[in-house]
Amino acid sequence: MLKKIVIFLEMIKFEHTVFALPFALMGAFLAAGGVPGAAVFGWVVLAMVGARTSAMGFNRIVDVEFDRRNPRTADRALAAGTIRMGEAWAMVLLAAGLFFFACYNLNRLTLILSPFALGLTFFYSLTKRFTWLCHVVLGLALAFSPLGGFVAVRGSLTGFPWVLSVGVVLWVAGFDTVYACLDADFDREAGLFSLPSRFGRERAFKFAVFLHALAFGCFTATGILAGLNYLYFIGIVLTAGALFYQHLIVNPGNLSRIQMSFFTMNGLISLTLFIATWLALVVG
């Protein structure tokens, strides 16, 4: 059983929850003006884990045939047969149930928005079949994270810093564009759509830099509009360094360090912005 759980966690890349969860908590802390109550905090965490687990499981299910054909992904659990299709569907449904139950225990508006948030993450998994804007759709899906965290506390959209969600859209679209360079050749041959497969790796990289520059502007504006103090802007400086470094260590001709760029730097960015927000709110 323990081995099966480990396989499930690897299949959905559970550790990548670090991309979205800090932004959900950032939205919750901004709404509360500090640390939210323990119950709300716990339900937000459970909602995020449930939503991401369900969405990633669905992604693996609908992409299983492509994963089997792609040498880079052929060893994924569902494609390799170490997880059965019925088991994967059970995980998707159970995780979705956890997400909706957590939203139910937060407030009415959170529950109303929950089908749209989860539905958009499911829809993303289909977009590579018909549009190279799939990276933007992923960004829109993750942009529900800070919005959901905010609504979980306030029960209202009033006062939500929309520029924060715009920043998440741009940030996610940028790093997903870079990551898609790994499969640019396969996507082109398989008839799948992505910015690198449509416009080439070099142009895709330039576009990702542009998106990340805009995202940085949005994250900076969030601190200004929310009236956060200097501690947040120390985090902004660290975020700028992480954004710069992730584009420094990879390029269209050398993707060997893309895991460092994709996971380590982006995880650092989301955690840094959340911790900086937390400190700015609780330290006067």
| Cβ proximity of 262 and 179 under 8 Å | yes
Query: Is the pLDDT confidence value at 1 over 70?
Result: no
Short-list 175, 178, 223, 230, CA closest to 203? 178
Q: Which of 147, 45, 37 is nearest to 102 (CA)?
A: 45
Three-state secondary structure call for residue 158: coil
3-state secondary structure of 255: coil
If you count them, how many residues does the chain have?
284
- Report the candidate in 79, 84, 80 with the shortest Cα–Cα distance to residue 66: 79
Chain segment 22-54, per-residue pLDDT in tens = 999 999 999 999 999 999 999 999 999 999 999
Cα–Cα distance for residue pair 47/170, rounded to 1 Å: 23
Q: Which of 120-134, 171-185, 247-261 is the least confident region?
A: 247-261
The label of the residue with tokens 């911790």 reads 275
Q: What is the mean pLDDT of residues 156-180?
A: 96
pLDDT in tens, 75-120: 999 999 999 999 999 999 999 999 999 999 999 999 999 999 999 9
Residue entry with tokens 């003006």: 33
Using one digit for the tens of pLDDT, what is the confidence trace for 48-77?
999 999 999 999 999 999 999 999 999 999
Residues contacting 106, CB < 8 A, separation 6+: 40, 43, 44, 47, 151, 152
pLDDT above 90: residue 127: yes
The pLDDT assigned to 214 comes to 98
Domain housing 192: 2-282
Which residues are CB-contacts of 215 (< 8 A; sequence separation ≥ 6)?
A: 167, 168, 170, 171, 174, 243
DSSP 195-243: HHHHH-HHHHHHHHHHHHHHHHHHHHHHHHHTT--HHHHHHHHHHHHHH
Higher pLDDT, 249 or 259: 249
Count helices and strands in the chain by DSSP H and E runs: 15, 0
The CATH number covering residue 136 comes to 1.10.357.140
- Residue 261 DSSP class: I
Q: What is the pLDDT of residue 8?
A: 75
The reported pTM is 0.94
Domain count, the chain: 1
CA proximity to 62, closest of 10, 125, 129, 123? 125
Unique residue bearing structure tokens 């299983």: 64
Task: Tell me the longest C-alpha to C-alpha distance in the chain.
Answer: 56
- Give the pLDDT confidence of 183-227 residue by residue, as tens digits: 999 999 999 999 999 999 999 999 999 999 999 999 999 999 999
Using alpha carbons only, give the angle 278, 164, 25 rounded to the nearest 5 degrees.
35
